[in-house]
Structure 1
Amino acid sequence: MNNKYIYSNLASFASKDDNFLGRKYPCSPTLYRGEFQRDRDRVIHSNSFRRLKFKTQVFVYYEGDHFRTRLIHSLEVSQIARSIARALNLNEDLCEVISLAHDLGHTPFGHAGELALSNCMNSDCFDHNIQSLRILILLEDTYKEHKGLNLSINCLDGLLKHNGPITNQELFSNQLPEIFNYNLNFKSLGSLEAQISALADDIAYNCHDIDDGLRANLFSIDNLFDLNFINELFENNKNIQKDEIVRNLLNNLATDLIENSMNKIQINKLKTIDDVYNAKEAIINFSDKVQKGLNEIRNFLKVKMYNHNSVKKWNSKSEMIIEFLFNYFKKNYDKLPNPNSLFSKDRNIADYISGMTDKFALNIYENIN
């Protein structure tokens, strides 16, 4: 099948051939893959994607074989996003690549590592969402013709707006000024595929953090049923199995997102992708009832899991390790591998440390000590 027709049967407002935004560096199309399949393949074959295998989601990789890592989380987000996109007749391939790439910029040790690295940057900053773009645009180095993976502008726009339109462009001025050469509209909404990937991320981490939290005995099923949303959803059946809770919760959230979004597509009378970009608010969203339930789950996980003493204890150690590594390479800059003369010393150190896996960071720390 010629790739020209791969996306021809999608909704008129989907991301597809007739609204493809091109690439920074033009390249010839392939015979049998669509442009967003090509993006996906470039991400999957990248070094940064492989390193997600040993990067923390909540628990450090060696604490158990079945706890999520960043790689597993990204795959789960991708699966959820593709299912939702198919139901809405949108572009599954674009959903997939945005989902797979959205966490490439995470530091070792999860959000604790990110906080520590950002604090080390003084007047500069570090943000993992921006770092994901920095990796894709600058740091992946597999093509002799250019830096980065040269992903489609559609994909980069979707990653840029993972959390919605950009209100603070100053963060990009510090961490990724090159993004301003891509002629992106920072103030518009992302494509429906970008919106799906963002909320598939919410579904994945809420459901699977419940799974991991129960597995780690940080809270019980009885604790979960203190939540009105969970209690109502499962009709106060506390004899239900852990896997059944996670599976049915995920299905409930995804189904609600699909059905509510179908309704909003009709209400907004979408015809073209410009109607999506120019909409006054996001089209892809949960119903008010389910959004309230999700907020209840987030607050529960914050108290019972993210602020649990065992998690906080490891987070404190993680922050200490990142701070130590940063200060070490600042004092011993000559030991930093392959610094880029176009970037500041702090930025080169941040790029190096943020690219580390948990395992590599721990090994470097122990060897230095």
Structure 2
Amino acid sequence: MRQPHACDPATARGRRHPEEESAFRSCFQRDRDRIIHCSAFRRLKHKTQVFVEHEGDFYRTRLTHSIEVAQVGRTIAGALGLNIDLTEAVALAHDLGHTPFGHTGEDALDELMAPWGGFDHNAQSIRIVTSLERHYAEFDGLNLTWDTLEGIAKHNGPVPDPLPYALSEYNALHDLELHTHASAEAQVAALSDDIAYNNHDLHDGLRAGLFTEDQIAGLPIVGEAYKEVDRLYPGLDAYRRRHEALRRVFGAMVEDLIDTSRALLDGVAPADASAIRHAGKPVIAFSQGMFDDLKQIRSFLFSNMYRAPRVMAQRARVTTALMDLFPIYMNDPRLLPLRWQSGEVDLTDEAGVARLVADYIAGMTDRYALQQHARFTGTDILRDVGDTGLPET
């Protein structure tokens, strides 16, 4: 049953550009559908989650990650009586602003853009859905509801000053109340992200041979899950054993978040969605015990996966690609596709050109960035990848 503090499409805060509403879809369902159909969402198929997308067909990409986050979010929102469609919309959109090569690409672009306000992928997601997607006759962007835009902008919590320029520009036109917490639905999307990546990064790291089952047996939650599987299914083959254990890890995180959040919501007793935003604290959270356990898992993944020598070698290669591409376009913006030279940006304005180039590079897929780098430099930056590629165990 939907709770009174759930976001209600009947009382949604509307769109910046008024539209006639659908006769058979709620406003949040329309937001979700527009996100799924947008170009930036499709490009997530070829954007890095942890491994550069060419390294294997079985590893997660930003697209499959986003779908997993949405699935987790729908489950949790339903259990808590929240609006499932809004949760799903925020979850599907939360990574639209990611650069090629994931956080590695974001770090590179943030450094390159330092003289002009830096780069932030969350703010870039807002820029995409409010401006850069240009398919509709009557407006730029997707013209999403205020509620969905708010969730994308601050699903990780209130946004402190100074605001990233990409977020500041839009917020001046359409106040997203960035100093408050987001809706409970957006908070669910944020922690569904944590659940998804903690689970699937363990799976992908094992498959890549970066660590073994024996190495993760000492981790909280994980070790207990493997013991339960071994007790219930002695002699189970390695692949089924791994899947059975990790789905229990997944389930433990989801159940803890639901139980803890129910207690938090009961304590706050919010009368409506506005009360959630002004509660002064998150209302969706893990228990302290689960939070501490996840810190240990994240620390293990950081040391053994995100900073593994093979992963770091790839990070160095792809960082070089973006560091090379940015000044090439800055020095000659005419190398950008014609529609990116439409006249909206004064090509003598250095800051304007830098933001144009950042928008263009941020929208690239991994493979397109590598192709453009090879085109302009004559260098196949991953030519030796066969020597250090990741196995699929």
Determine if the TM-score, normalized by the shorter chain, exceeds 0.5: yes
Q: Find the aligned partners of 1:285 and 1:122 in 2 and give their Cα distance.
A: 33
Query: Which segments of 5 or more consecutive residues in structure 2 lack a partner in the other structure?
Result: 378-393
Q: Which amino acid aligns with 2:49?
A: Q
Q: CA deviation at 1:131?
A: 0.4
Q: Does 1:287 align with 2:287?
A: yes
Q: Find the aligned partners of 1:89 and 1:174 in 2 and give their Cα distance.
A: 33
Q: Find the aligned partners of 1:272 and 1:315 in 2 and give their Cα distance.
A: 45
Assess if the C-alpha contact under 8 Å between 2:6 and 2:273 holds in 1: yes
Q: CA deviation at 1:180?
A: 2.1
Q: 2:137 aligns to what?
A: 144
Q: Which amino acid aligns with 2:323?
A: E
Which portions of structure 1, spanning 4 or more consecutive aligned residues, are displaced by more than 3 angstroms?
173-176, 232-240
Match of 2:107 among 115, 137, 143: 115
Assess if the C-alpha contact under 8 Å between 1:101 and 1:132 holds in 2: yes
Map 1:64-103 onto structure 2 (within 5 A).
Answer: 64-103=56-95
Q: 2:356 aligns to what?
A: 348
Assess if the C-alpha contact under 8 Å between 1:256 and 1:286 holds in 2: yes
Q: CA deviation at 1:297?
A: 0.7
Assess if the C-alpha contact under 8 Å between 2:221 and 2:249 holds in 1: no
Q: What is the TM-score of this pair, normalised by structure 1?
A: 0.94
Q: Find the aligned partners of 1:258 and 1:364 in 2 and give their Cα distance.
A: 45
Map 1:164-313 onto structure 2 (within 5 A).
Answer: 164-168=157-161, 170-173=162-165, 176-235=168-227, 241-313=241-313
Assess if the C-alpha contact under 8 Å between 1:229 and 1:296 holds in 2: no
Deviation sequence 1:152-179 (CA, Å, 0-9, x none): 00000011112101112x2333664122
Q: 2:43 aligns to what?
A: 51
Deviation sequence 1:190-215 (CA, Å, 0-9, x none): 00000000000000011000000000
Change (3 A) 1:159 1:75: same
Q: CA deviation at 1:266?
A: 0.9
Q: Find the aligned partners of 1:21 and 1:344 in 2 and give their Cα distance.
A: 32
Moved more, 265-274 or 135-144: 265-274
Q: Find the aligned partners of 1:267 and 1:99 in 2 and give their Cα distance.
A: 26
Identity of aligned residues (%): 41
Assess if the C-alpha contact under 8 Å between 2:225 and 2:248 holds in 1: no
Q: 1:6 aligns to what?
A: none
Q: Does 1:36 align with 2:28?
A: yes
Q: 1:156 aligns to what?
A: 149
Q: 1:25 aligns to what?
A: 17
Q: Find the aligned partners of 1:280 and 1:331 in 2 and give their Cα distance.
A: 47
Q: Find the aligned partners of 1:269 and 1:11 in 2 and give their Cα distance.
A: 11
Query: Which segments of 5 or more consecutive residues in structure 1 lack a partner in the other structure?
Result: 1-8
Q: CA deviation at 1:237?
A: 6.6
Deviation sequence 1:82-110 (CA, Å, 0-9, x none): 00011111111001110111001011011
Q: Which amino acid aligns with 1:128?
A: H
